[in-house]
Amino acid sequence: MATFRSWVPVPRSFVGFCVLILVLEPKLPALADDSSNVGVGSGGGGVPELCDIDVRSFLPPPYGNISSVVCKPIWNTFMLRYSQDKDNVVNIILSAVYTTGWVGMGFSRDGMMVGSSAMVGWINRKGHAKIKQYYLQGSKEGSVIPDKGELPLTGIPASVVIHGPSIYLAFQLKFQNHLAHQPIILAFGSEIPRHSHLSKHDDKTTITFDFSGGSSMSVASTNFGKMKKNHGVLGIIGWGLILPIGAIVPRYFKHKDPLWYYLHSVIQVIGFVIGLAAVVLGRRLYNMINANFPTHRGIGIFVLVLSILQILAFFLRPNKDAKIRKFWNWYHHWLGRFALFFGAVNIVLGIQIGGAGSDWKIGYGFLVGIVIVTVIVLEALAWMRSTWSELEFDPIVEVVQCVDYLVQMLENCLRAGLMFAYECQLPPQPKLTE
């Protein structure tokens, strides 16, 4: 039976630590009740006054004569009135305190802005009310396309009305199934749209609203954006930089024994901790917005499992002369390669679904380029070392000596050229006569 040099029992505390981090999640914000947000109504009133406003006096039919309307505060001064009948027809009346600019409400599949459709209303400079559907194709202003979208609008015209200090957006949707938990995006901008093109929002938020129960879970836009950015940064640093560096060390620095082993172990543990933090933050984001990215999530969990197996391999490393050492090497090498490959794939997927700008793509591409160039250079040096190992000289030393020889030749040529030029400039010497 094979003996093990370092058959160290796997610490239960380490396994428990990984499981504990993944299982324990910060509690999501509690469901908002009727008094969770206080709006600003006419006369300085709060939410009750805003919900008590009789919309039948100023909204056109059918919005003004809908029975059983539910009114809920959802964000700042944003109020949502809605009704849903047995035919899955949903009437929505969104109101907010208004001075100028635009107000919008978007429907998203996964809680992300990109790929969602929104209804946006405003009052133009001539005092005319405008409301349009927009498709949010990207994160830039030019990617917000007017008169496009996937909202199932009915034939009932949408309406925009100013009443008191608030603007009211009313529209009707018909869904195939009963509308329940739905990710909603709320936003507003202070600039009036020109030629139906929206300016960048001043603020926005994402909530998950329960149209069957009237409750909402709020996601602060600033915290959400910061968490999403931190998730991407941690993933790129951990899986795109540190872990590849740790994999490079044992392949090209085995001749520096045992330094390469300690460097490899320390670097990979650091990369694993950073990658684990990215996974935990990603899971919080996933639950926060009820996201639906099964591929990104599945690959992330798969890579995490591979990385945990790699960490466990450290404690199960057999002796160099053990019979099963070659099988352990295959296991350790190939699992590491799979983890790095799928980690890189998941980074690209994350940049894509997160709607990251060109800066993220260029930055990650530059990072990958540096890693590839480094591997090519080290691979070439390793090939030279292995090819010339039978000769009695070090290729690197020979290259340095060759460069020194070329420099000396260049110096001699320059010196000879300068001497020749100097002699050419001297005046001719008179010939001596006897």
Residue 381 lies in a domain: yes
Q: Is residue 420 part of a domain?
A: no
Domain limit, last residue, from 219, 246, 281: 219
Q: Which domain holds residue 76?
A: 42-219
Do 233 and 381 fall into the same domain? yes
Q: Where does the pLDDT of residue 92 fall: very low under 50, low under 70, confident under 90, or very high at 90 and above?
A: very high
Q: Which of 338, 355, 350, 248 lies closest to 295, judged by CA?
A: 350
Half-sphere exposure of 135 (CA within 13 A, CB side): 9
The pLDDT of residue 327 is above 70: yes
**Cβ-count burial 9-23 (b if 16+ within 10 Å, e if not):** eeeeeeeeebeeeee
- Alpha-carbon distance of 26 to 24, in angstroms, equals 7
pLDDT at position 355 is 67
> Does the residue 79 lie in any domain?
yes
- Asked if 161 and 129 touch (Cβ cutoff 8 Å), the reply is yes
Share of the chain above pLDDT 90, in %: 26
Lowest mean per-residue pLDDT among 60-74, 154-168, 244-258, 415-429: 415-429
Query: What's the total number of domains in the chain?
Result: 2
Residues 90 and 197 in one domain: yes
Give the pLDDT of residue 172: 93
Q: Is the pLDDT assigned to residue 434 strictly greater than 90?
A: no
- Distance (Å) of CA 234 to CA 139, 222, 288, 394: 22, 18, 19, 40
Confirm whether 117 is domain-assigned. Answer: yes
Report the CATH number at residue 256: 1.20.120.1770
pLDDT in the model for residue 397: 63
Q: Are 81 and 55 in contact (CB under 8 A)?
A: yes
Residue 59 scores a pLDDT above 70: yes
Q: SS3 for 180-234, per residue? A: CEEEEEEEEECCCCECCECCCCCEEEEEEEECCCCEEEEECHHHHHHHHHHHHHH
Q: How far apart are CA 150 and CA 100, in angstroms?
A: 27
Band of residue 56 on the pLDDT scale cut at 50, 70, 90: confident
Give residue 423's pLDDT band: very low, low, confident or very high (50, 70, 90).
low
User: Is position 207 within any domain?
Assistant: yes
Averaged pLDDT for residues 316-339: 87
Residue 28 predicted with pLDDT over 50: no
> Same structural domain for residues 194 and 229?
no
The domain boundary, picked from 203, 219, 235, lies at: 219
Q: Is the peptide bond before 183 cis (omega within 30 degrees of 0)?
A: no
Please check whether residue 171 is in contact with residue 150, taking contact to mean a CB–CB distance below 8 angstroms: no
Query: Within this chain, do residues 354 and 370 fall inside the same structural domain, yes or no?
Result: yes
In this model, does residue 15 exceed pLDDT 50? no
Are 304 and 328 contained in the same domain?
yes
Domain contains 404: no
For residues 394 and 402, give the distance between their C-alpha atoms in angstroms, rounded to a whole number.
12
Which tens digits make up the pLDDT trace of 238-261?
999 999 999 998 888 888 888 888
Looking at the structure, do residues 297 and 186 belong to the same domain, yes or no?
A: no
CATH number at residue 212: 2.60.40.1210
Is 316 in the same domain as 363? yes
Q: Quick check: 43 pLDDT over 50?
A: no
Average pLDDT over the chain, rounded to whole? 79
pLDDT tens-digit profile of 349-397?
888 877 676 788 888 999 999 989 988 988 888 887 777 665 555 655 6
Q: Is residue 278 helix, strand or coil?
A: helix
Query: DSSP characters for 109-153?
Result: SSS-STT-EEEEEEE-TTS-EEEEEEEE-SSSGGGEEET-----B
Is-contact 170 93, C-beta < 8 A? Answer: yes
Query: Higher pLDDT residue, 16 or 94?
Result: 94
Query: Do residues 51 and 112 share a domain?
Result: yes
Residues 159 and 83 both lie in one domain: yes
Residue 242 to residue 190: CA distance in whole angstroms:
43
pLDDT at 234 > cutoff 70: yes
Structure-block tokens of residue 146 = 């007017």
Is 32 a domain residue? no
pLDDT at position 321:
83
What is the H or E stretch that residue 106 is in?
A: strand 102-107
E strand or H helix that includes residue 400: helix 395-425
Residue 6 DSSP code: S
Domain final residue, candidates 219, 254, 285: 219
Dist. CA 256–CA 384, nearest whole Å: 17
pLDDT value of position 421: 64
Q: Are residues 227 and 306 in the same domain?
A: yes
In a domain, 62, yes or no: yes
204 and 277 fall within a common domain: no
Residues forming a β-bridge with 188: 103, 203
Which one, of 145, 140, 141, 119, lies nearest residue 130 by Cα? 119
| Domain co-membership, 79 together with 177 | yes
Using an 8 Å Cβ cutoff, are 314 and 56 in contact? no
